[in-house]
Amino acid sequence: MRVLVTGGAGFIGSRLVARLAREGEEVVVLDDFSRGSEANLKELEGTVRVVRGDVRDPRSVGEAARGAEGVVHLAALIDVAESVEKPDLYFDVNVRGTLNVLESARSAEVFVFASSAAVYGNPVRLPIAEDHPLRPLSPYGATKVTGEALVHAYAAARGFRPVILRLFNVYGPKQSRAYAGVVAEFVKKVLRGEPPLIYGDGTQSRDFVFVDDVVEYFVRALRMEEVRGIYNVGSGKAVSVLELAELVAKVLGRPELKPVHAPPRPGDIKHSVADISRAVRDFGYRPRVALEEGLRVTAEALAAELRAR
C-alpha cells in the first residue's frame, strides 16, 4: 500500500513511518519540519520519500498525495495554550490544512485522522466514551472538531473508509521541542535537578498512553477493513498530574524533588480518562506499555538527547 503520512517527521509520525517502512509499505512523508525533526527520519533515508511542504500549500499536498491508497493525517499544531493566543494560525493549519489534504487525497481508500480528547472539553461523565458531547474549551479542540466533520463529509462524498482516532495524552521519546507534553517536561526538569512544574493544584487527571501503543492503532486502522468511525485511543486509566510528577521523580531516583505550582492555564480541562472499550473490541488490541515502564524508556531517551547536545 502506498501511504501518505502528513507530519511524518514528528513525534508519532516518525515512529509510524519507521514501522510502516519496516513492514514493506511504500511511504511518502509530508512535513515542513517546523515542529518535526529531520533527525527523526535520518535512519530511513532511501526507504521513504519525503516531500518538504506545508499542509496549507495545496501544491505540496497534491504532490505528496498523488497515488496514495492510504492517508494518515497527523500534521497539526497541538498546543492548547498557544491556540488561545494564536487562534487564526490554528484554524489555518489545522482546518485549512485538513481540507487541503482531503481535497488532494483523491485516490485514498482509507483516511486516518489524528483527532484529540480536547474535542470533549470538561467531561459530564467519566470515563469518556465516543458518544460524549463535544464541548471543546480551546481553539485547538475546536479545530479538531471541525477536522472530524470534514473527514466525515468527504468520506460520504468519496466513499473512502474514515477512521478518526481521538488521542488522549500520548507520551514517549522524541516529543517535539516546540511542544513537549507534560511527561517530557517533568522528565527534563528532574534530569536537570529541578522540581516538576505543575499548572494548577495537580488534582487534574489525565490518561497517558505510550507512543508505540498509539502507533499500533494507526497501523491497524490502515489495514483492518472492518474498522471505521471514531475511536478513543488512551490507556483507560486516570492518573493525577501530581501522581505523575511523583512517579517521574521516583523513576529517575530523585524522589526528594517535590513539584512546584503555577496558576492554571486557559483552555486546560480538569479531568480526562478514555473509555477504550470500542477500540479494544474493534481493533483487537489493548495498550500494553505500563506507565512506569514507558516513563523509564522516555527518561532514558531524553537523558541521551540532553547529553548529546
Long-range contacts of 175-183 (CB under 8 A, 24+ apart): 175/11, 176/10, 176/11, 176/35, 176/36, 176/37, 178/34, 178/35, 178/79, 179/35, 179/78, 179/79, 179/82, 182/206, 182/241, 182/244, 183/208, 183/244, 183/248, 183/295, 183/298
Which amino acids are annotated catalytic? Answer: 140
CB distance 166 to 172 below 8 Å: no
Give the burial class of 42: count Cβ atoms within 10 A of its Cβ; 0-12 exposed, 13-18 middle, 19 or more buried.
exposed
Q: 6 CB contacts (<8 Å, ≥6 apart)?
A: 13, 30, 31, 55, 61, 64, 71, 72, 73, 74, 75, 97, 101
